[in-house]
Amino acid sequence: MSGELAQSVIKRIIRQVGLECAARGQSLSETLVAFVVKAVVLDPRNDFNMDRILTENDMQDLIQLCVARLLDTTNPSLSTIKMQVYFDMNYANRDELLSEQERVLEGKLAPVVRAITESGPRVQEEMENVYQKVVIYVLLRSGLGSPTDIEAVREVTAALQSVFPQPEMITFLSLSKKDKEQQLKDLAMLVTGIRLYNKQCQKGGSGIDDLPGILNKAIPLATRTLDERLNSCQLLAHHYTALLEAMQEEPQRFSRLRFFKLKEALFNVRQYEAFLCILQSNAITSAQEVESLDVQFEAAMMVLKNTVQDKTSIESRKVFPLFMELSKLWTGFQHEMLLLNFLTNMADNLQQFLEIQSQLFPEEMLTSLLEGVTVKSDVERIKETVGTRVNVSDFRNQEWLFPETTDNFDQLLIQYHGFCAYSIGVKGITLPGNPAIGILKHKEKYYVFSSKEAAYIFAQDPDKFIQLNVEKAKKYAELIQLLELHHQFEYLVPHAQARKASKGSMKPPPKCESGTQTDTHILPPTIVRSYEWNEWELRRKAIKLANLRRKLTHAMQTDLSHMRRENFTQVYLPKDVGTQTKRDNSSNVPKPQIFLKGLRGGSSPTTHVLTVDLTRPLDET
């Protein structure tokens, strides 16, 4: 089946499944329906092949299977998928959340900003109205009070008049739109800093909450709540893991457990645990940020008090930066308050996806099932393998990484969310991996194991066990996100939209109606009226400017030039000159010529050497 045809068929199926569920009283989001359609198609037990064209009967079977799965409220797998979809659609990290909050704030303030920057008051009454709008903008921008709070409005007005008197509105209105918007933001920060200082001096502060105190109480409470929920779900995961191991070791004794959806329940609590860990990490970061802000805020307030003291007047260049610094730090407190509320709401809303655990496995039933079963926590399992590690010499073609031989060992991106790569596909259990045993590097990916034996078996044929894990994820679709396998199933996502690989979300592309408006002339006109393109006109102007008929030529000398004159020098070209000596004379001596005769020997046994001197006498030379 071609890609476009497959997409159109899947969209049709998603629409019909949604209508069927709505007819039965279940209103579900399109994203959740798309996820379930994907899960049903992936499951090999349903025998759907997307490479061939689906017949009408196939489509009806697929729709009925999807509807049945979406309406099965006793299946932990559906709760896990709902949890994953909810988290993908609602969670945002710090930067994303704060940027979204800033965008929302700018949208709310846009009408007020437009009314201020585009106004052109001509009479005093209109000028006062614009000034009141500036007061409202400053109050809304700071988030310290409501425009309906008369006392807060009075404080803002007094603070604004101290730094921006109403007569300066004339200068303000003459600025460009961009400069007006920037000055409004600066005024909001200044007024916020002044109000915070006055509150510290107990001279005002209406509508200003004690954010540092609230955060210092709320963050530990939120962290403690997250810890309790995390410990509770981890305990459930340990119980389910122990029961699944007991089923595999003694299948006859625990045969009745086959009818319970233990694996789905285990995956449900493991996914809940992963999401809680993310929220807990954010809460810890927020606590550290609040602690740092507390110190900076106290130091900035102390510097401001020492600068102002009891002075009736002070230079603005000294005190304005201090007020703005106070405002920035207070904005940091407001951001942390927003983040804390977001994390608390996320944690509370995730609780609903764990309610099925108490329905399937009440505490009494779980206690009876665990009789005679040894329950081990994740920490205890890791402690059991302390000191055991893979022997690298047993593997020739495999690369193993260890803490003492690998830089940034703790920052390696472990596959399967840190679970044992062997236990998932073979046992269908998510056991925590111990990196100290050794991390296997295979095709630029890293795998950990719960025991040395599991590591040895996996290393013999990694591709085989990786494929087993993929097949397990096809059977239990919630494992795709839990084990971070999005890259292997990207081609079957119902909506063909770009998504971040790290998040793996299936959000449809956001759409909204928007409009833009451009000012006719944002900058002041820069037309040069004196410009002339005609060359002859330029010449005419140049002659007119010169007016040579009435000009004289003048010359003058300076102190440095009045005694100077032109100098010339002459040189003669060089010529060839030679000298001659009286005569050439030389002397010569005879060359010595001495020969030795008889060196080669002769017929006699005794060698006789005769020296012959043939050098010519000196007088013959």
- Encode pLDDT of 93-113 as tens digits: 899 999 999 999 999 999 999
Q: Which domain holds residue 132?
A: 119-201
Judgement on whether residues 313 and 170 belong to the same structural domain of the protein:
no
601 occurs within a structural domain: no
303 occurs within a structural domain: yes
Judgement on whether residues 393 and 256 belong to the same structural domain of the protein:
no
144 occurs within a structural domain: yes
- What is the pLDDT at residue 507? 42
Judgement on whether residues 9 and 60 belong to the same structural domain of the protein:
yes
Write out pLDDT tens, residues 509-537. 556 677 777 777 777 778 888 888 899 99
Judgement on whether residues 236 and 338 belong to the same structural domain of the protein:
yes
Judgement on whether residues 22 and 60 belong to the same structural domain of the protein:
yes
382 occurs within a structural domain: yes
177 occurs within a structural domain: yes
8 Å CB contact between 496 and 6: no
Judgement on whether residues 357 and 416 belong to the same structural domain of the protein:
no
- Number of domains making up the chain: 4
Judgement on whether residues 316 and 300 belong to the same structural domain of the protein:
yes
522 occurs within a structural domain: no
Instruction: Tell me if the pTM is above 0.85.
Output: no
Collect the ranges in the chain with pLDDT lower than 70.
1-6, 49-52, 254, 257-259, 311-312, 490-512, 548-557, 560-568, 581, 621
- Write down which residue in 342, 370, 398 finishes a domain: 370
Judgement on whether residues 487 and 391 belong to the same structural domain of the protein:
yes
- Write down which residue in 498, 521, 540 finishes a domain: 498
Judgement on whether residues 329 and 257 belong to the same structural domain of the protein:
yes
The C-alpha angle with vertex 96 and arms to 348 and 77, in degrees rounded to 5, equals: 45
Residue the block writes with tokens 């060089």: 574
Write out pLDDT tens, residues 109-160. 999 999 888 887 777 888 888 889 999 999 999 988 888 889 989 999 998 9
Identify the bridge partners of residue 442 per DSSP, sorted by sequence position: 445
8 Å CB contact between 352 and 327: no
Write out pLDDT tens, residues 236-288. 999 999 988 888 887 777 677 666 788 889 999 999 999 999 999 999 999 99
Judgement on whether residues 274 and 417 belong to the same structural domain of the protein:
no
621 occurs within a structural domain: no
Judgement on whether residues 130 and 224 belong to the same structural domain of the protein:
no
587 occurs within a structural domain: no
8 Å CB contact between 505 and 490: no
Identify the bridge partners of residue 596 per DSSP, sorted by sequence position: 611
Judgement on whether residues 387 and 363 belong to the same structural domain of the protein:
no
- Write down which residue in 170, 201, 232 finishes a domain: 201
Round to whole Å and give the CA distance between 292 and 269: 34
8 Å CB contact between 322 and 41: no
- What is the pLDDT at residue 611? 85
